A and B are shown apart, each in its own frame.
Chain A
Amino acid sequence: SAVISQKPSRDICQRGTSLTIQCQVDSQVTMMFWYRQQPGQSLTLIATANQGSEATYESGFVIDKFPISRPNLTFSTLTVSNLSPEDSSIYLCSVEGPPNTEAFFGQGTRLTVV
């Protein structure tokens, strides 16, 4: 299994600012995933972060708004830029286990934009 630590667990930010979320895994993993969960909704995949290459973004998400870093095999950051109230959501990181096992999720970062 993998243990994922996300920081911060929650934050309140002013519109127009940015928030950087950190995700630390207790083992080396090839791929890390970032999700957004808007209030009352399911999880939506933002991007896949690979070490040593640019992140791959899903439709509707762009690098300028959600820049991602992946400096090594145990760590990634997601920045939510130029915040607006519509960005108020829970952001989660996830890693994939070995083949034929499950994915593991952090506990999420609850962002409120005021």
Chain B
Amino acid sequence: DAKTTQPPSMDCAEGRAANLPCNHSTISGNEYVYWYRQIHSQGPQYIIHGLKNNETNEMASLIITEDRKSSTLILPHATLRDTAVYYCIVRVGDTGGFKTIFGAGTRLFVKA
């Protein structure tokens, strides 16, 4: 699985958009970009994933660059409850049997 690089921490004002970057310059053609978050030592929670197109769901948007070497997770209106560690992971997604390997993640602090 390809390695990802994320900033160790970020701040965001409540109500503003939180933009979390991730670099994955060695991503392979069949590897997807996944985002999870972990709130205060609970089990990781899935947020969103994509292959090459931008994706949006009720939680967030995922913007993947055309060369797929980086991506950005966007929380459009951050709340205090979005304070968590966010993990960007690349892994093969279109077949089964592949493990999820976590990097260090980004600790997002949402401030009132």
Task: Please report the C-alpha to C-alpha distance between residue A67 and residue B99 in the assembled complex, in whole angstroms.
Answer: 19
Task: Please report the C-alpha to C-alpha distance between residue A38 and residue B108 in the assembled complex, in whole angstroms.
Answer: 19
Complex contact B99–A33 (CB within 8 A): yes
A62 within 8 A of partner (CB): no
A99 in contact with B96 given A42-B102, A42-B105, A45-B101 (CB within 8 Å): yes
Query: In this complex, what residue of A is CB-closest to B91?
Result: A103
Complex contact A99–B94 (CB within 8 A): yes
* B79-100 contact mask (Cβ, 8 Å, vs A): 1 or 0: 0000001010000011111111
Complex contact A99–B95 (CB within 8 A): yes
Interface size (A, Cβ < 8 Å)? 26
B21 within 8 A of partner (CB): no
Complex contact A110–B41 (CB within 8 A): yes
Q: Which stretch, B12-20, B43-51, B67-75, touches the partner chain A?
A: B43-51
Task: Please report the C-alpha to C-alpha distance between residue A102 and residue B48 in the assembled complex, in whole angstroms.
Answer: 8
Task: Please report the C-alpha to C-alpha distance between residue A96 and residue B102 in the assembled complex, in whole angstroms.
Answer: 14
Query: In this complex, what residue of A is CB-closest to B100?
Result: A103
* B34-63 contact mask (Cβ, 8 Å, vs A): 1 or 0: 101010011111100100000000000000
CB contacts (< 8 Å) of B7 on chain A: these are: none
Complex contact B96–A98 (CB within 8 A): yes
A residues near B (Cβ < 8 Å) are 4, 30-31, 33, 35, 37, 42-45, 48, 90, 92, 94, 96, 98-100, 102-108, 110
B residues near A (Cβ < 8 Å) are 32, 34, 36, 38, 41-46, 49, 85, 87, 93-105
